[in-house]
Structure 1
Amino acid sequence: MISFKVLSSLKSMLVTSVLVLFLAACGAQAHNHGGKQNIVEIAAGNPDFSTLVAAVKAAGLVETLQGPGPFTVFAPTNEAFAKLPAGTVESLLKPENKNQLVAILTYHVVPGKVMASDVVGLSEAKTVQGSKVKIDSSNGVKVDNANVVATDIEASNGVIHVIDSVIIPQ
């Protein structure tokens, strides 16, 4: 009989293999924009964003985020997704939950290229999803409940700011 620990390890290896194949496929579909990568290419090239990239693909947003933009993306890391309740990510990746996934992901995107120097002057920003995120720069920078941990990762079609939590529209 196979132990739970072995099954869990096998599942982890399978998920990792699928993500590696997906990231390789994203890289193969990459478009060059004057030497600078677009938002999806940058995310796909960084293993800390593998969950985000899988979610963007499941939501059907790859082409949009490879488009001309410009976009500002508050990008949650894998660790940020891991903070969600158990089973949340797997549930959101199911085809029947695509609308909810799209709403969450587009809540992480602000139209235009908003650099860190611009973010600190804002108290809120309207997202592509339609709601506004709250911005607090009184002690570091927070977007809703997430801390901004890295800023101004420039892409050919916008900018990425890395956050430590997934933000959810109200």
Structure 2
Amino acid sequence: MKTTRLSRTVISGAAAVILPVTLGVMAPQAFAGTSTAPADPYGPACASVPKDGSGSLAGMAKDPVATAASNNPDLSTLTAAVKKAGLVDTFNNAKNVTVFAPSNEAFAKIPKADLDKLLADKAQLTKVLTYHVVGEKLTQKQLEKGSFKTLEGAKLTTAGSGDNIKVNGTSKIVCGSVPTANATVNILDTVLMPPK
């Protein structure tokens, strides 16, 4: 009788030690290679993104795209344009989109008189801004050679590799694969204009 009790105690004690060790070793192996983490942001302008706070890469990942852009100081002109066009809710409520976001530097390339005219014309501004949005999350690999329909209705093209990917042959992605809660953002050095 005593032997049986001792055996049960030893066996249950051994199980208590073996089970956690087995789970600890097995759990990581069971999930190895199943990560679906997004690609890391790439491009020279990523270095100028704030290191912490709501405008940082980690901070932007928590917010929907229009809110995330408003927290990034290099996207303040874009944010103002989105507000003027009344597209904040549209962009924030969109699901799984890619936004090609012109930086302040990109908007600065447009002559002031032309930019002021664009910002004052809500219909044209909406057309330009929705031309910067594709209705699916695109990976860096897909951008190496692609043609994508925009929310505006026309297509844009992408080509290149690594840190050197251009949109429509003229606008360079200077910080790509930036995650937000509902979109992937690719920051551009030139504003895209939809075909007439």
TM-score range, shorter chain: 0.7 to 0.9
1:125 to 133, 148, 159: 148
Q: How many residues align?
A: 134
C-alpha displacement of 1:76: 0.4
**What is residue 134 of structure 2 aligned with on the other side?**
110
Unaligned stretches of 5+ in structure 2? 1-53, 55-60
1:71 to 94, 97, 118: 97
**What is residue 192 of structure 2 aligned with on the other side?**
167
Amino acid of the structure 2 residue aligned with 1:82: A
C-alpha displacement of 1:68: 4.1
Amino acid of the structure 2 residue aligned with 1:48: D
- How far apart, CA to CA, are the structure 2 residues paired with 1:162 and 1:68? 18
- How far apart, CA to CA, are the structure 2 residues paired with 1:45 and 1:168? 25
Taking only aligned residues, the RMSD between alpha carbons, in angstroms, comes to: 1.7
Q: Deviations over 1:1-37 (max 9, x none)?
A: xxxxxxxxxxxxxxxxxxxxxxxxxx9xxxxxxx811
Unaligned stretches of 5+ in structure 1? 1-26, 28-34
Task: State the TM-score, normalizing by the size of structure 2.
Answer: 0.65
Q: Deviations over 1:132-160 (max 9, x none)?
A: 01212168211012001111111111110
1:151 to 171, 176, 180: 176
- How far apart, CA to CA, are the structure 1 residues paired with 2:63 and 2:165? 26
Task: State the TM-score, normalizing by the size of structure 1.
Answer: 0.74
Q: Among all aligned residue pairs of Structure 1 and Structure 2, give the percentage whose two residues are the same amino acid.
A: 40
1:84 to 88, 98, 110: 110
Larger CA Rg, structure 1 vs 2: 2
- How far apart, CA to CA, are the structure 2 residues paired with 1:137 and 1:44? 29
C-alpha displacement of 1:80: 0.2
- How far apart, CA to CA, are the structure 2 residues paired with 1:72 and 1:41? 15
C-alpha displacement of 1:86: 2.5
Runs of 4 or more, structure 1, over 4 Å off, are: none
C-alpha displacement of 1:118: 2.2
